[in-house]
Amino acid sequence: MLADKPGFINAGGKLIDLSVPKVMGIINVTPDSFYHGSRVTGDREIVETAVTMISEGADILDVGGYSSRPFADDVPVKEEKQRVLNAVRMIRDRFPEAILSVDTFRAEIAYEAVSDYGVQIVNDISGGDADSEMFGLIAEFNVPYVIMHMKGNPRTMQNNPEYDDVIAEVLRWAGVRINRLRRAGVRDIIIDPGFGFGKTIKHNFDMLKRLGDFSIAGLPLMTGISRKSMIWKTLSVSPGEALNGTSVLHAVALLGGADILRVHDVKEAVQTVRLIEMLKRA
């Protein structure tokens, strides 16, 4: 029997209603993200990107300063912090009521983003594995926390990843961390299976096909498949040509129970959510 998911998450006193799936817009403050179109570096470009995404219907903006593409170089803490906090500050100044997420696995950066700029969500690609201080921070602030599964790290994760059953392994991994977070008093936990993070294309499609299996955890589910290699390699196109494929798989994810879509292209994702919701009500 599948557990019921919570209908809301509490983001800094703002209740996010998950009865209709939400769209999280990606703002990569990096020079080397895998999709060239998602890279924003100048101050003006950061604000313009936020303006566009909010006008197109983004429910959450996710700001990251560390490229997690396969084989990416490490980014020093000081550099990541400068990138992320500068962007968060400018977006918060322009949109004081926006729901912001910080994409980082470093507790030091998450702490400053939450305490100094009111960031309401922490999105951790390591699920707490990269920084032993992260769970304590999340418990202290009790902000919604995204735990994503990754086998290895960005520099090693695509070195022949193997699983007996990728869904079962991700669920076991998540279960350990969910129990730790619950014991610490953390209320709002979101699962991200980690498409493309230590998975082959087949693993990714297996997870998407069985996405509903993750509902057994009884937690909101976020998917990050936007323009990823499972799409563009399968279609023999570039990441820049993968929008149509992304929309198709977003529809599949929504039908499979995704509660949050983490996306590069907000307008198209919002339209996909609207169409799938109409289909569900038909």
| Residues counted in the chain | 282
Task: Tell me the Cα Rg of the chain.
Answer: 17
Is 35 a residue whose pLDDT tops 70? no
Structure confidence at residue 71 (pLDDT): 62
pLDDT of 136-151, one tens digit each? 999 999 999 999 999 8
Give the pLDDT of residue 6. 82
Q: Which residues contact 164 (CB under 8 A, 6 or more apart)?
A: none
Q: What would the pLDDT profile of 139-197 be if each residue is shown by its tens digit? A: 999 999 999 999 866 655 566 778 889 999 999 999 999 999 999 999 999 999 999 99
DSSP letter, residue 240: G
226, pLDDT greater than 60:
yes
Least Cα distance to 213 among 165, 147, 276 occurs for: 165
Percent of the chain whose predicted confidence (pLDDT) is above 70: 91
Work out the average pLDDT over 4-33.
90
Place domain 19-281 in its CATH homologous superfamily.
Dihydropteroate synthase-like (3.20.20.20)
Which residue, 64, 108, 58, 53, is CA-closest to 88? 64
* Residue that the structure tokens 């990606």 belong to: 26
Active-site positions? 228, 262
How high is the pLDDT of residue 117?
96
Q: What is the DSSP string of 208-236?
A: HHTGGGGGGG-S-BEE--TT-HHHHHHHT
pLDDT of residue 1: 39
Domain map (residue ranges) of the chain = 19-281
How is residue 37 annotated by DSSP? G
Torsion region of 257: left, alpha or beta (phi above 0 gives left; psi -120 to 50 gives alpha): left
Region 252-278: what's the mean pLDDT? 98
Check: CB of residue 127 under 8 Å from CB of residue 145: no
Confidence of residue 39 (pLDDT cuts 50, 70, 90): low
| Per-residue model confidence (pLDDT) at position 81 | 95
Comparing 41 with 137, the larger pLDDT belongs to 137
